[in-house]
Amino acid sequence: MDYRRTEIAEAEVPRTTRPVFQHLVDTYASETNKTAATWRELQDAQLGFRPHPRSSTVREILTHQLLSERRFFAEFIGFPEPPGAELLPAGPDPPVHAYVERYVSLARARLARLAELDEPRWLEPVPFFDVRRERIWVFWRRVLHTAHHRTQVGLCLRLLEQQVPPTYGPTADVSWAGADPTRTVDAAARKSAG
């Protein structure tokens, strides 16, 4: 899938010490690119948009993403992270690009640490709120949490009549040659080539 802009190029993704864990680092870089591409579709004036009175504003979603991702990696995964007070872009109403740049810079700094984790560290139980889970479980929970918030922003983009970029496949706004979305029973019934 091609984006207008790739924040973390494939060549920048470090190699893991064990190939079986490479997908974790690759996925984190890919999910960062998807989230940044979604955020970049926003306009600064849309950061105050709230689709429902009980919903968060777009700015609150971006802020939560930066804060909660730091908490996951510091408190639960055990990585050194910047102090919470240094996470958010400066100023009372930072522009979209400031959130994107901060998000990507924090993610980029985590890649080498992820690549260094070996099997005992990935499988080690760590505190997760009021329970203990394997570090690898917490990592995947972070990826899913990010996808959830990216979807919230995507919904806001749709309601604001902005383009929604592709994440795992084409959208109503963006497609490409070779894209093959599964929208029919026949497509879902296909068997593997093997």
Chain segment 129-183, per-residue pLDDT in tens: 999 999 999 999 999 999 999 999 999 999 999 999 988 877 888 888 888 888 8
Domain extent for 56 = 10-188
Q: Which residues is 134 bridged to in the sheet?
A: 125
In a domain, 1, yes or no: no
Measured in degrees and rounded to the nearest 5, phi and psi for residue 182 equal: -90, 100
Chain segment 20-32, per-residue pLDDT in tens: 999 999 999 999 9
Q: Which residues is 131 bridged to in the sheet?
A: 128
Task: Count the alpha carbons within 13 Å of 150 in the hemisphere toward its beta carbon.
Answer: 24
In a domain, 15, yes or no: yes
Q: State how many domains the chain has.
A: 1
State the CATH number of the domain containing residue 87.
1.20.120.450
1 pLDDT band, cuts 50/70/90, is low
In a domain, 2, yes or no: no
